[in-house]
Amino acid sequence: MASFTLHGIPVSKGIAIGRAHLLAPAALDVKHYLIPDDQVEAEVLRLKNAIATVHQELQTIRSELPKEAPPELGAFIDVHALILSDPMLAEVPLNIIRHRYYNAEWALVTQIDGLSAQFDEIEDPYLRERKADIQQVGDRVLKVLTGSAINLPPAEGGDGATASIIVVAHDISPADMLQFRDGAFGGFVTDLGGQNSHTAIVARSLDIPAAVGMNNASALVKQDDVLIIDGDAGVTIVNPSPLVLAQYRARQERMLRDRKKLGRLKKTPAITQDGTEITLLANIELPTDSAPALEAGANGVGLFRSEFLFMGRAGHLEKFPTEDEQFDSYCQTVVSMKGRPVTIRTLDVGADKPLDEDEQTALNPALGLRAIRYCLSEPQMFLTQLRAILRASAFGPIKLLIPMMAHAFEVDQTLALIEQAKEQLRQRKQKFDEDIEVGAMIEIPAAALALPIFIKRLDFLSIGTNDLIQYTLAIDRVDHEVAHLYDPLHPAVLFLLSSVIAMGRKAGIPVAVCGEMAGDVKWTRLLLGMGLLEFSMHPSQLLSVKQEILNSDLTLLEPQVKKVLKATEPSVIEAAMAQLRTLNAEPEIKATAARRR
């Protein structure tokens, strides 16, 4: 069997070795035919029964979750149950059967395709990938309609190298992953997906090696092929040679040993070799993410993406959660963090569909009405969220983070609305933190270049490196045709990052980084050398970053980072970065730092 390599998007670190098990999407088996008039209601009933069966399946999976299961899993099952109950899936396909006479499978696929097209127009990558949840729920119903099984076979393989099963699929849902947990499920490879998909989030939570976004892996890989998933690189090796297999087995064993060592750092303070204390925070999407954040030793939450509360509501963002619903979620989060600060980012989505559906000109939602611009255009919705966050601040330390700031008047209008929300709560005699801190996401180059506007008005800053890089280089990093241009080491990006950190420190205003750079150990020393003292990342990345911090000495890093920042040629920057990664503190410095601690 010929060996070949597939390249995708890394979403969960680790190495998995096993045999391929292909899961075909149910939509591929859908037949299209018209129903006779006298059988329409029977076809409607068939779809209703399939939906009811999936509801029961999800309830069973939810009830059988083990106590030690990450809290995200239950929440994602709940989201799928909500989507399944939504009229956009529970009722519209029934009307398609009644009015167009489509068979049940065809009607369901038609509606899913229509909803998917709407999500493709959303700019925010986290929300855009929610399309996958709708498709996964639809695929589950289709499997019931077509009688397709989704259970894994028992793992086999006498050579000792294939003890695990590697699922290869067009896409895979968190619910499917839970059903596989009792088998020898070693990892998964999918054609679809990205960093922010629910499947990716669950994979990281469960430490399941995975590679997604491989386009045509499910077509190229054959049943029972031997696979190696290199989760760190997002690479899958199909039918590796004995030498490559042996090399990866050795790497796998070494990684398992290293993970055990990392676990010992949970209670160790993040202090550099020269005695500088670094704050490590967690990025979370759900209130129940607090548990893994605490387990990883996070000093608090640096980014709570509140968009999750607005998802899966009648298929549209127009139906907003109530103030009490939001308050309950924010309060649950802040209480569970046991006194550690929680930074809540206000709604970061946008009105990114054309006003006229027949309009042929494609709008650019990245530059349109989104994030704080959208919130200021919907003041009642924004006030509802602000009141909910303020009310939760009575139960623990909360910081308000405003996304996509660029203008002074946006800051002023936001602060005025926060004051209005406070006054409304005073009139209700509801408690809140009168001195709640308010900060801005620095993710637009204009904001980074006009930083005094924000330093003068706000309490803290948080750099969103994902968007800052994207806007600085004018590329969409999820567009495969230009994704290779996404470069954190571009001189313009380095200049903006370093200047924001330096100006913030000079003004005495805290600066954090909450984008992907914060959780990638490749950039830890670079950010430390720029003067960054607060990192916010996914909980699963925290211990690796902490280890890098413990092995770093700012007195050595800072001069080398200056060389990186002065360089403009890519080759010179890479050479300076390579030297930065090899810097080690002298033994006597380590001893001095140890005595300080």
**Catalytic position from the list 80, 331, 514, 538:** 514
CA 376 to CA 259: how far, in whole Å? 45
Token pair, residue 506, equals 């000079």
Number of H helices, E strands in the chain: 26, 16
User: Given the structure tokens 């995200």, which residue do they identify?
Assistant: 72
**Catalytic position from the list 21, 198, 331, 375:** 198
CA distances from 563 to 99, 240, 526, 532 (A): 68, 41, 11, 17
CA 75 to CA 254: how far, in whole Å? 33
Q: C-alpha angle with apex 356: 350 to 357, nearest 5 degrees?
A: 90
3-state helix, strand, coil in the chain (%, to 5): 50, 15, 35
Q: C-alpha angle with apex 167: 538 to 131, nearest 5 degrees?
A: 55
Would you say the C-alpha torsion 469, 475, 479, 484 has a positive or negative sign? negative
Q: Which DSSP category does 156 fall into? A: -
Query: For residue 137, which of 82, 191, 92 has the smallest C-alpha distance?
Result: 82
Count Cα atoms within 13 angstroms, Cβ side, for 454. 31
Q: Which DSSP category does 303 fall into? A: E
Q: Which DSSP category does 272 fall into? A: -
- Please list the residues that pair with 6 across neighbouring strands: 236
Whether 484 is a known active-site residue: answer no
Whether 375 is a known active-site residue: answer no
Active-site positions read 198, 514
